[in-house]
Amino acid sequence: MSPGPPGGRRAVRLAFLVAITVFAHAAFNGSRVTVSLYALSLQATPLAVGALISLYSVLPMLLSVSAGRMIDRVGTRRPLLWSSVTLAAGVGLPAFAPGMATLYVACTVIGLAFMVFHIAVQNAVAAISAPEDRAVNYSWLALGFSISGFLGPTVSGLAIDGAGHRATFALLTASAIVPAACIAWARPSFPRAHAGAAPGGKVSDLVGDRNLRRVFVVTGVLAMAWDLFYFVIPIYGTSIGLSASTIGAILGSFAAATFVVRMVLPWFARRLPEWRLVSITLFVACVAYALFPLVRTVPLIAAIAFLLGLGLGASQPSMMSLIQQATPAGRLGEALGVRTMVMNASHTALPLLFGAVGTALGMAPVFWAMAVCLGGTGEFARRRLGAKCLC
């Protein structure tokens, strides 16, 4: 990797990247909640809501590797700009043309746009980071995601109750426009990760690497757990009579926990091997999912959501550090694309599968199936401590 800009310029560029990420991710995350609640208000079934949420991931699953290669080739500024513009267009569609048909198109566009933004911003952080600062810088980016993860659902829930679904989509569109405007005005330049290295090789080379494959497997399960929460809670909350603002507050409790745990994560990271930290997060998430169907009061649901946020929130910086350690020079964008493909494969299949199960059997089996999956993956991660791996 190129050494990147001097320390002061790195800090400014990192702050810029975190700031635009907050606005873009708030629009993305808020749209997921708003789409679900709007569809439910139109009498959509859990299966139909699952189909909508799956559309966020279909094109990212198919195109993320190509997007990563493109970002390796052209750099990060233009992908960040055009993905922000496309994100704003996708989020704005339901505000101007309401209805279920529009939601299907909007979900597809939003998912594709944010996939490109996500890979590009992660690559940009890698490009400006000295090796000794990499974990800390990813932690700052993760904090940005936590802030937007709280703001998106919470503000969306309040806006829906106060102004309706169309106005909420318009508000989220404004949030998505901010990154595009900032990039167009500031015209930031970022060095390329592994400048001078020519990307090459096959995707199978990355997937065939034992250390990377372990990261991809755990990434997929963590993505399932994260995505399921945002898919199931609006359905579960609506089924027990909760308002949109209350559902938004529960989702905000989860996001607040991810912020809290990421504030103290550097302390844990210095004392725990990465795979041990990942295994702990998986077991904590397992317990949270097992408890969800057993409670129906808002304070307890919010408390369990907070517990789940503590578990899942600690995982992302560790996984990013592990994947960057194992990735060959010049292929970080491609490796992030493979990671995104794995995540979106789970995002695509899981809402459809669990939406069908929820429609047929109720939501309790959905929660418990996820708990079993997390527990098994936690044991898999724990056993990596006894093997020669990335940690």
Residues 265, 282: Cα–Cα separation, whole Å: 15
pLDDT of residue 187: 80
pLDDT in tens, the chain (391 residues): 444 455 567 788 899 999 999 999 999 999 998 999 999 999 888 888 888 988 998 888 888 888 888 888 888 889 999 999 999 999 999 999 989 999 999 999 999 999 999 999 988 888 887 776 776 788 788 889 889 988 998 899 899 999 999 999 999 999 999 999 999 998 877 665 554 444 556 777 777 777 787 888 888 888 888 878 877 888 888 888 888 889 888 988 998 898 888 888 767 766 777 778 888 889 999 999 999 989 889 999 999 999 999 988 888 777 777 777 777 766 777 787 887 787 777 767 776 777 777 777 777 888 898 899 999 988 887 776 555 444 3
pLDDT of residue 372: 92
Contacts of 214 (CB under 8 A, 6+ apart): 384, 389, 390
pLDDT of residue 221: 86
Pinpoint the alpha helices (H) of the chain. 7-41, 46-74, 77-96, 100-128, 134-163, 165-186, 203-208, 210-239, 244-271, 274-291, 298-313, 315-326, 332-361, 364-383
* DSSP assignment of 122-150: HHHHHHH--GGGHHHHHHHHHHHHHHHHH
Residues 108, 124: Cα–Cα separation, whole Å: 25
Catalogue all structural domains in the chain, each as residue range(s) with its CATH number. Answer: 7-386 (1.20.1250.20)
* DSSP assignment of 144-198: HHHHHHHHHHHHHHHHHHHH-HHHHHHHHHHHHHHHHHHHHHH----PPTTTTPP
Neighbours of 62 (CB within 10 A): 14
Q: What is the pTM of this model?
A: 0.75
* 166, 95 contact by CB (below 8 A): yes
Angle at CA 200, nearest 5°, toward 58 and 188? 70
Extract the tokens encoding 379.
Answer: 């044991």
pLDDT of residue 334: 78
Residues 108, 35: Cα–Cα separation, whole Å: 12
**Radius of gyration from C-alpha coordinates of the chain:** 20
